[in-house]
Amino acid sequence: MTATKYYQFRPINVGRWFIWSLFALVLLLAPLVFDSSIAISMMAQMGIAIIACLSFNMLLGQGGMLSFGHAVYAGLGTYVAMHALLLLGDAGLPVPAVALIPLIGGFAGLFFALLFGYVTTKKAGTAFAMITLGVGELIFIASMVFFIFFGGEAGVSADRVIGEPFWGISFGPLIEVYYLIAVYTFLCVALMFAYTRTPLGRIINAVRDNPERVEFIGYDPQTVRYLVFMIAGFFAGIAGGMAAVLFEIVTSEVVGPIRSGSYLLFAFLGGVTFFFGPIIGGILMVLAFVMFSEITKAWMLYLGLIFVFMVMYAPGGIAGLIMMNLRLAMFGRLGELWASYLGLGATALALLVSMGALIEMIYHLQLGTAMGDVVPFLGMSLNTLDLDVWFGAVFVALTSFGLFELCRRSFSQQWAAIQTDIEKEIKRRETT
């Protein structure tokens, strides 16, 4: 009897190939569309922020580990990469060596994650979060004390242009740095996505959901957390190394609590339950730090309010909202909600404008009285000494919030009814 061999072929996932090709095309062509130096710099920063937020989500979204010190590994990667860049310049190595600086930052992040991670991942939940907060504060204080490595308040600076150009590339022009960051961004995003399909990527999800059962089937939850922690530190370090090449200077702010909080805030806003959520968060992070901060001095207060709003009404983040509505669209039920969305959008916009007026007037009274009593806001002139202006802003804010709640409750009932119908339809299809 001759043995018969059976071969199984998995079909090509056309949708996935299309998305990755589109992602690569966007990275390639973006500087041709937005060709100003400011736009190119922002897009390079977005690439760095995307990698940092995705690496943070390896801990929070995929592993259930809330870290308040993720900036430590990105920041220390930046410091080590900056010192490496200084050594490359002194050694007179060729230009291609600069392209390896992000990898040096990555291995630095991996080393420090190996160093601090064993103790950090001994615990989970609240204890893990508190330990990461302590490590973050420790490194932040150390950055102000150990001047030889951290450079004090002045930080550490280096020149990314070393030696003669190689094939016309010197990494002096910003566009060359952008494409270097774009290559690393694409590769790192692809690797982190591939990681989610590995046994380690699957088992960390199980550790997040039920660590006792994982231990029962023979895995050590602490070891799994430790391995994932080191991988996240590696990719965070790569983001830090790319920042060293882009900015050519690093200060203690990169290991500070504000930076760690930013990774948490924007990864959550993007959506930690879906892989592409932190990508959205990284883009929003750069837009907020670069553009929103130029519009208003109270921009961090706005971010805090938006964060609270998202936690209350959209805990799945922007990615969660997108995926929930895509599900409705697949069953042809999205059009039924247009009136509800219109009401929610109008009342939310009125609430945002009225709250913005109140915030700007309060901020002006606290810090900007020397500039007069009038505050410009969305083409209007708000007199901070006029009680009618205060009353109008408060009235609109309270009224719009009340109307928003009414629209939200009506929307929730309609949404629940549609979801019930969809579940019935799914069961009907399964039985036929």
Residue 227 has pLDDT above 90, yes or no: yes
Residue 323 in domain: no
Name the pTM for this structure.
0.89
User: Would 326 be classed as within a structural domain?
Assistant: no
What are the start-end ranges of the E strands in 136-176?
A: 156-157
Residues 92 and 198 occupy one common structural domain: yes
* Residue 348 shares a structural domain with residue 262: no
The C-alpha atoms of residue 48 and residue 420 are separated, in whole angstroms, by 41
pLDDT at residue 1, rounded to an integer: 45
- Of 33 and 8, the structure prediction assigns the larger pLDDT to 33
pLDDT score, position 225: 94
Q: Would you say residue 8 has pLDDT above 60?
A: no
* The pLDDT of residue 106: 96
pLDDT of residue 343: 92
Nearest alpha carbon to residue 99 among 238, 194, 286, 192: 238
Are 348 and 259 in a shared domain? no
- Is residue 330 predicted with pLDDT exceeding 60? yes
| pLDDT, position 108 | 96
Q: Per-residue b/e over 414-426, b at no fewer than 16 CB within 10 Å?
A: ebeebeeeeeeee
Is residue 370 pLDDT above 80, yes or no? no
Report the alpha-carbon distance of residue 336 to residue 338 in Å, rounded.
6
**What is the torsional sign of CA 179, 156, 159, 174?**
positive
Please tell me whether residues 255 and 297 are part of one structural domain.
yes
Question: Which tens digit of pLDDT belongs to each residue from 122-174?
Answer: 988 899 999 999 999 999 999 888 888 898 888 888 888 777 767 777 777 88
pLDDT at 130: 94
Q: Which domain holds residue 120?
A: 15-316
* pLDDT: which is higher, 409 or 97: 409
Q: What CATH number should be reported for the domain holding residue 280?
A: 1.10.3470
Instruction: Tell me what pLDDT residue 369 has.
Output: 59
Contact 383, 373 (CB under 8 A): yes
Do residues 49 and 197 both lie within one domain? yes
Asked if the structure places residue 321 within a domain, the reply is no
How many domains does one find in the chain? 2
What's the pLDDT tens digit per position in 21-62? 999 999 999 999 998 899 999 999 999 999 999 999 999 999
Q: What is the mean pLDDT of the chain?
A: 88
For residue 375, list its beta bridge partners: 382
- If asked whether residues 307 and 382 sit together in one domain, one would say no
For residue range 293-313, what is the model confidence (pLDDT) as tens digits? Answer: 888 888 888 888 888 888 888
